[in-house]
Structure 1
């Protein structure tokens, strides 16, 4: 997993809970907290941090993932090349479609060892889509938060339904509809 995800998570914890809480989180998780945005790290380290933060705060791990996804969207969006196709999107549905066709393709070109999640689109039109999120990392609630952050970026209200296609959480169906 790319280090930018780790550095963004650390920033979120510090902003929401304070530097002392971040230090305690790292101590309790047995994590030195040394991540660079361009490095690659085991996603289990992030899972361990999220689980530990859940224990510290009493907030469900799924909710922490969702809030993280919401908060990180805008920073990830700002890091996109200014002349990319994604800058031309006018809705969250358009943007989500291009995540698979553009972002994940570019990530694989830049980082051959990368294993980004896959989106398999079932149906779509201008205001709604159904797709399966497939990832060995079981972080579908981060994806949920990213979708919510995307909708907020475009000033949209969306209705999102998630359904696990399997017990592992590796395969999750999302139904996203722009409702306002």
Structure 2
């Protein structure tokens, strides 16, 4: 996993809970916390930090990942405004992730292994998004969708399917303000 993801997680945790919380999580996980944005780090490091944060906050790991995605979106926009500028809505932004956003990420961060999303219209206001990645971070993607909506002052509802079901990697996204 690229170091920029760890940098975003550190900024999100430090911004909401204080820098000392980030240090406590690193101590609890035994990680040194030195993440260069261009570096590559084991996926297990992010999982360890999320697990420690969930235990410290008394919430499920899925909630930590969703919170992280939602909280990271404004940070991403402030760091990379050029990725957001061409879009007039969060729906347009989300639907461009495979064709515009991830190719730009791969230009910025050589060797980045981005997830793939399949989109299918469900109705005029709803889209089925299917997540494909070995990292199994659908909850993070869920948070990114909510965070993106917030950046355009829009509201979305996200319907998820039970783990173990054939649709467990799908979510139905409804834009409520468009």
TM-score of the pair, normalised by structure 2: 0.87
User: Which structure 1 segments of 5+ residues have no match?
Assistant: none
Deviations 1:3-62 (A, max 9, x none): 111011112222222233222211110100101222221221001110011112212111
Is structure 2 residue 175 aligned with structure 1 residue 178?
yes
1:127-138 equivalences in 2 (<5 Å): 127-138=125-136
How many Å separate the matches in 1 of 2:160 and 2:134?
17
User: Which structure 2 segments of 5+ residues have no match?
Assistant: none
Q: Quick check: 1:120–1:133 contact (8 Å CA) kept in 2?
A: yes
Aligned to 1:122: 120
How many Å separate the matches in 2 of 1:105 and 1:164?
31
Q: How many residues align?
A: 177
User: Superposition RMSD on alpha carbons, in Å?
Assistant: 2.4
Measured after TM superposition, the shift of residue 178 of structure 1 is: 1.1
1:141-160 equivalences in 2 (<5 Å): 141-160=139-158
Aligned to 2:101: 103
Name whichever of 97-106 and 121-130 sits farther off.
121-130
Name whichever of 67-76 and 36-45 sits farther off.
36-45
Measured after TM superposition, the shift of residue 138 of structure 1 is: 1.0
How many Å separate the matches in 2 of 1:48 and 1:156?
33
Compared CA separation, residues 55 and 165, structure 1 to 2 (3 A): closer
How many Å separate the matches in 2 of 1:140 and 1:44?
16
Aligned to 2:7: 7
How many Å separate the matches in 2 of 1:148 and 1:101?
20
Compared CA separation, residues 113 and 177, structure 1 to 2 (3 A): same
SS in structure 2 of the partner of residue 32 of structure 1: coil
